[in-house]
Amino acid sequence: MSSIFVFGNFVDDLIDGHQTLGGEGAFVASALQILKETTGADTSYTLAGRLDTDTSGKFLKSALETLHVDISKIAIGGTKTCQILVEGVRNGRFIRSNGGSICAFYREEWERFREELLQPGWIFFTSNTIKDNQTWEQVQKILNKSPRIVFFDINWREHIFARGQLHREKFVEERLVPVLQRAEIIKGTAEEIQQFQYLLRDLKKSKWIIETMGRHGVCLSRNGEKIFQTAPEVEEVQDTGAGDTFSGTFLFEMTRKNVQSVDDLVLLSSVEVQQMLQLACCVASMTVQGFGVEYLEKNRGRLAGYPKVPL
């Protein structure tokens, strides 16, 4: 059984005509695979979801295979691969999306992974992966039945910038709130945390809240304690995938420390958490120096000195 279950959110990103791997699930799995290979760790993960045999699907399959990501458990067909067109590399402007749902996880997937999801470990997903109604039905089963620790990335920036008063939307009340209540670790940008502060402040104090602040670093809050980690100063090309490779690295470190239950989570010291944040910030900073995980892949040798990662 895998220690980390990643919902397969795959997107064919077309940024100023540059076709690149996209999607939270794809980035998290890529970071996990690169870290596995550079450290020799036996961390196991499952990347689940769906790709079609269309042009975008073939491109994403090839891109993941090039990174040696295990895609053996990804279903083929039954959906249309999502392509997103963006104009501008930094603070890009969304133009339109083509294709279907960015994440498809249906009843067949629940049946296929039922035994695995009922085992201890981790599960990662974001608000983007609970938009599809069929997928949401399966997520509810997982939230109710799985003992896995839930790492949830709000990932709501596009919606915050486009619309206001999101707390009045049914989606937030009917889907986002139940997930936030169930998740043990919640991650979001400073903007996202602020947007949903009215929800987060009512959660149990035992939850971990990770607030990412770009070039200013990250702040992790737990049980009234705040742990800060600065980010390395780098020349940023774009920020696509930085938050997701951060999440993948953080999950990787959790399994390296054999954290498989909430009880294990409580036992982590502040020093251990600080070290985890440091490596996660390092990997995220490498991601922004190129397109997606391209720079991270080409410079993976910099991670070979772990835990003495050059910052």
**Domain boundaries defined on the chain:** 4-302
**Per-residue pLDDT tens over the stretch 142-161:** 999 999 999 999 987 555 44
Tens-digit pLDDT profile for residues 33-88 = 999 999 889 999 999 988 999 889 999 999 999 999 999 999 998 888 888 777 77
Per-residue pLDDT at 98 exceeds 70: yes
> Residue 298: pLDDT above 60?
yes
195-201 own/partner pairs: CB under 8 Å, 24+ apart: 195/156, 195/160, 195/166, 196/154, 196/156, 196/167, 198/167, 199/167, 199/172
Total-model pTM: 0.92
Residue 188: the pLDDT is 93
**Which range among 10-19, 81-90, 132-141 shows the weakest confidence by mean pLDDT?**
81-90
Residue 288: what pLDDT? 87
Of 239 and 223, more confident: 223
CA distance readout (Å), 78 to 50, 52, 273, 310: 7, 7, 41, 44
Per-residue pLDDT band at 311 (split at 50, 70, 90): very low
Mark out the alpha helices in 23-147 (DSSP H runs): 24-39, 55-66, 107-117, 133-145
Which span out of 86-100, 165-179, 209-223 was modeled with the highest average pLDDT? 209-223
Write the CA distances from 274 to 45, 100, 179, 204, 208, integer angstroms. 24, 39, 26, 22, 13
Question: pLDDT class for 309, splitting at 50, 70, 90?
Answer: very low
Q: What superfamily does domain 4-302 belong to in CATH?
A: Ribokinase (3.40.1190.20)
Mean pLDDT score of the chain: 86
Report percent pLDDT > 70 for the chain. 91
In degrees and rounded to multiples of 5, residue 301 shows phi and psi of -60, -25
pLDDT, tens digit, for every residue of 239-271? 788 899 999 999 999 999 999 998 999 999 999
pLDDT above 90 as % of the chain: 48
